[in-house]
Amino acid sequence: MSGAQDTPTSAEEPRAFEELYRSYAPTVYGYIRARVNSNAEAEDLAARTFANAFASLPTYRARGGGFGSWLMTIAHNLLANWYRERGRRPPATSLEDAEALPSAAPGPEFHLERNERIRAIRDAIGQLGSDQQRLIALKYVDGLTNAQIGHMMGRSEGAVKALHHRTLRKLLGLLAGQVEA
């Protein structure tokens, strides 16, 4: 949402502002939560951000970044004033609090599981016949079409489709441990 279109006006203000709140609340809360010690303080400051924004709607003018940018400026200013009133700098987040913060970065278990899946797929591909392995390489590594693969393997496009289907079925069976090599 950006620009004047996402700014509620007149009688529709409460309903439209509720939609804006739902859209921006996670971002505002996340921004504040990463800079304060507790969930309660973050919730309070996020609520104050939206209260200030709603009270200031009559003076809002869409400039540059739009409503979201304006809202984040309010959150930033509230946070700065909150620290100034308390005479302190933003605290270092404790290890326990850091665990509660959401992260987009995958953890070590994600990488371990991914590496295990890759190893299992490579092992299963190694159990396929040579034509099936070649098909997998041409299709998924080289990105060739069935017609191009057929030309390279001396088969019709239909024969490549059938081989592809059988190969995937066997590969899935191997991965599930249902098919003997």
Query: Confidence band (pLDDT; 50, 70, 90) for 120?
Result: confident
In a shared domain, residues 80 and 11: yes
Please tell me whether residues 96 and 11 are part of one structural domain: yes
Q: Which residue has the higher pLDDT, 154 or 12?
A: 154
pLDDT of residue 170: 92
Query: What contacts 110, CB < 8 A, 6 or more positions away?
Result: none
Encode pLDDT of 127-136 as tens digits. 999 899 889 8
- Count the residues in the chain: 181
Residue 181 in domain: no
As to burial, measured by CB atoms within 10 angstroms (0-12 exposed, 13-18 middle, 19+ buried), residue 158 is exposed
- With a CB cutoff of 8 Å and minimum separation 6, the contacts of 156 are 150
Last residue of a domain, one of 74, 100, 126: 100
**Opening angle at CA 25, ends 24 and 30, nearest 5:** 105
Last residue of a domain, one of 100, 116, 145: 100
**113 and 93 share one domain:** no
Q: Which amino acid is at 147?
A: A
Same domain? For 95 and 128 the reply is no
The whole-number pLDDT of residue 5 equals 46
Does residue 80 form part of some domain?
A: yes
pLDDT score at 122: 86
pLDDT class for 159, splitting at 50, 70, 90?
A: very high
Domain span at 73? 4-100
Are residues 138 and 95 located together in one domain of the fold? Answer: no
Q: Are residues 24 and 76 in the same domain?
A: yes
Question: How far is Cα 128 from Cα 134, in angstroms, rounded to an integer?
Answer: 10
117, 159: one domain: yes
**Structural domain count of the chain:** 2
- Whether residue 56 lies inside any domain: the answer is yes
Token couple for 69: 């940018």
Q: How confident is the model at residue 11 (pLDDT cuts 50, 70, 90)?
A: very low
Domain-ending residue, one of 52, 84, 100: 100
- Identify whether residues 23 and 95 lie together within a single domain: yes
Q: What is the pLDDT of residues 56-86, one digit of tens each?
A: 888 877 766 677 888 888 888 888 888 888 7
Residue 19 in any domain: the answer is: yes
Residues 91 and 134 in one domain: no
Q: Structure pTM?
A: 0.43
Whether 113 maps to a domain, the answer reads yes
Rg of the chain over all Cα atoms, to the nearest angstrom: 28
Q: In this structure, are 15 and 65 located in the same domain?
A: yes
**Angle formed at CA 14 by CA 9 and CA 19, multiple of 5 degrees:** 95
% of the chain with per-residue pLDDT over 70? 78
Q: Could you tell me which residue, 119 or 9, shows the higher pLDDT?
A: 119
Q: Given CA atoms 121, 123, 126, 128 in this order, what sign does their dihedral have?
A: negative
**Dihedral through CA 38, CA 21, CA 77, CA 103, nearest 10?**
50
**CB contact at 8 A, 55 and 49:** no
Q: What is the pLDDT of residue 164?
A: 94
